[in-house]
Structure formats: structure tokens, C-alpha cells
Amino acid sequence: MPTEHRHRVAVLALARALPMEIGMPFQIFDRHDLPYEVVLCGRRPGPIDTTAGWSVNATRGLDAVVAADTVIVPAFRDATAGIPRDVAEALREAHRRGARMVSICTGAFALAEAGLLDGRRATTHWQYTDALAEQHPLVTVDPDVLFVDEGEVITSAGVASGIDVCLHILRVDHGSAVANAVARDIVAAPHRDGGQAQYIERPATPEPRSAGLAATRAWALSRLDRPLAVGDLARHAKASARTFARTFVAETGTTPLKWLNAARIDRARELLETTDLGVDRVAELCGLGTAANLRTHFRRATGVSPSDYRRTFAA
């Protein structure tokens, strides 16, 4: 992979940051075979307290945030209380310079405080979505997703969704093959199903819990090259269509049809990156039937045509 330009990633840790979220960008981007330069920043160089009771050492201050190509703000405790004025100004200046601004979990409050989420769709940990919407009414808060990509500003939901958003960024920058390889290395799912709705605590119901639909989803993934309808999945799960749909949404946070379409697009991306098959054949193998149908769904999901995607990401 070319390394002429090192993409500068500034991870901005604020007081009482959460250690797991600080480490995620380093685990995913800080690799010898990837063209990223990842640095830990604070308001100034030096120790930063974490919620674990020990400190991390920031090697750079806000100057590195302003100069970065991507700025990532991990979660921090007391996020609803606001951020220092100099931090907000550094975030705004980085954004003005064209940096990609990213938050993990409650790091969204820092971006919102700097005014970078106004007029945008965004998310944060489901326990804090109401607070984010109340404190920042100009932000359209989506409580059900793992992350929201608004192009120059990306926000993710709680904790482990930081891995999802970092892998998503890697996929946008370098394609699915690279992102999937890193996901395998860190033993993470390359692309998790659904949103954080599946993790929200809900009142217990008297209905017996489902044994789970993971086997049905795996069965569907092994047959993407064949005609598949929601009814086929329901029959495999030995459930009525209504029960199947309700259980599927509860488990994944999305509908069976949306999940199936997303799986077909993921398969198409992989085939476009790793093979020289024609678009017609790719459409057949991912179950979208015709090249025209593939182009329509692919552009809707990725914003580009299959041919343009292949020119960018083909190995």
C-alpha cells in the first residue's frame, strides 16, 4: 500500500476519558502497513486522567488537533457538563481546515459543544441520546444506529461501536478487503448487523425468549447467490412471518429485508475488490439479479457506481 502521505490522526483525550475508547483508533489505524500516523493529544502534552484510575500520556497538545487530517474524540466522563473553550475552538479550527471529525460514544458532546453537529444527524450511547437532543436541539439525534456518517463529521454510539466506526473509516479510505483483514486480526466483526437498538435495555415480557436467529442469518449469507425472500428466512427459522420479523428486529435492530439487501451489497463490494468478474456476474453472485439492479442498489448504499468503486479499491 502506498505510504507517500501519512494521514494524520489525532486522538483527543479529554479529562476522565475512557481507556477502551482511547485505544480503539490505535488498535485499528496504527499499523506499519497502513498510511496513518496516530498521535494521542490532550489540551496540552502530559498525563490525562482516565476513568480507570490511571493516566495516559498525551504526546501532543491542541496544535496537533488543528493540524490533523482526522480528529477522533473518544468518550469521556461528565460529557454533558461541556468542554473547555480552547478545546472547542481547536475542534472548530480543525473542521475549518477540512479535517474529518469523529466521535466515539459520549465524545459526540464535544463535537456538539463546538457546533459541529448543528443541522446534522448524529448519535451517541443510547443512555445519552436524550441528553444530547435536549442540550443541542439543532442536532438530529438518531438513537438506533451504531454510527452516523455525515461525510466530514462521523459519530458513533456506545463503547464497542467505536470499533465499528473505525473499521468503517478504514473501509471508506482503503476498501472492504483492508478493513476485513484488520477486523480478522483484532477478532472483530467486519460489519455488525443492525444498530444499537438491539442493546437497549427493555422491560421483561411474559413471552418466551427466542433461541436466536443467528443460524438463519448464517444460512442466508451462504445462499446470497440464490433467490431469497423474507418468507424463506422465516421458514428456515420455523417461525411465522410476523414472529420472525419481530424477533429479527429485536435481535439486529433492522428489518430482514434491509439486512438482506445490506448483505448483498457487502458481497458485491468484496467481489468488485477481489475479482475481475463482470458487473453482470457480480450481480448474479450477490443475488441482485441484473447489472442494472446492482448499480441502483450499490449507488444508493455507497454513493458511487460499481465500476467507480472497483477502480478505487480493486486489489
pTM: 0.70
C-alpha 31/C-alpha 36 separation (Å) is: 8
C-alpha 91/C-alpha 71 separation (Å) is: 8
pLDDT tens per residue, the chain (315 residues)?
444 578 999 999 999 999 999 999 999 999 999 999 999 999 999 999 999 999 999 999 999 999 999 999 999 999 999 999 999 999 999 999 999 999 999 999 999 999 999 999 999 998 999 999 999 999 999 988 889 999 999 999 988 899 999 999 999 999 888 888 898 898 887 766 555 544 544 433 333 344 588 899 999 999 999 989 999 999 999 999 999 999 998 888 789 999 999 899 989 988 998 899 999 999 999 999 999 999 999 988 877 889 988 887 775
C-alpha 152/C-alpha 102 separation (Å) is: 8
274-306 burial, b if ≥16 CB within 10 A, otherwise e? eeeeebeebbbbbbbeebeebbebbeeebeeeb
| Residue 73 Cα distances to 9, 105, 239, 259, angstroms | 11, 9, 43, 29
Helix (H/G/I), strand (E/B), else coil: 203: coil
Which one-letter DSSP state was computed for residue 186? Answer: T
pLDDT for the residue numbered 292: 95
Helix (H/G/I), strand (E/B), else coil: 140: strand
Beta bridge partners of 41: 12, 60
pLDDT for the residue numbered 176: 83
Beta bridge partners of 147: 156
Closest CA to 219 of 256, 167, 192, 270: 256
Distant-in-sequence, close-in-space partners of 203: CB < 8 Å, separation ≥ 6: none
Sign, Cα dihedral of 266, 272, 273, 274: positive
pLDDT for the residue numbered 121: 95
Quickly list DSSP for 218-273: HHHHTTTTS---HHHHHHHTTS-HHHHHHHHHHHHSS-HHHHHHHHHHHHHHHHHH
Lookup result for grid cell 440464490: 226
Beta-carbon count within 10 A of 54 CB: 9
Residue 125 C-alpha cell reads as: 450511547
| Residue 204 Cα distances to 199, 299, 304, angstroms | 14, 41, 43
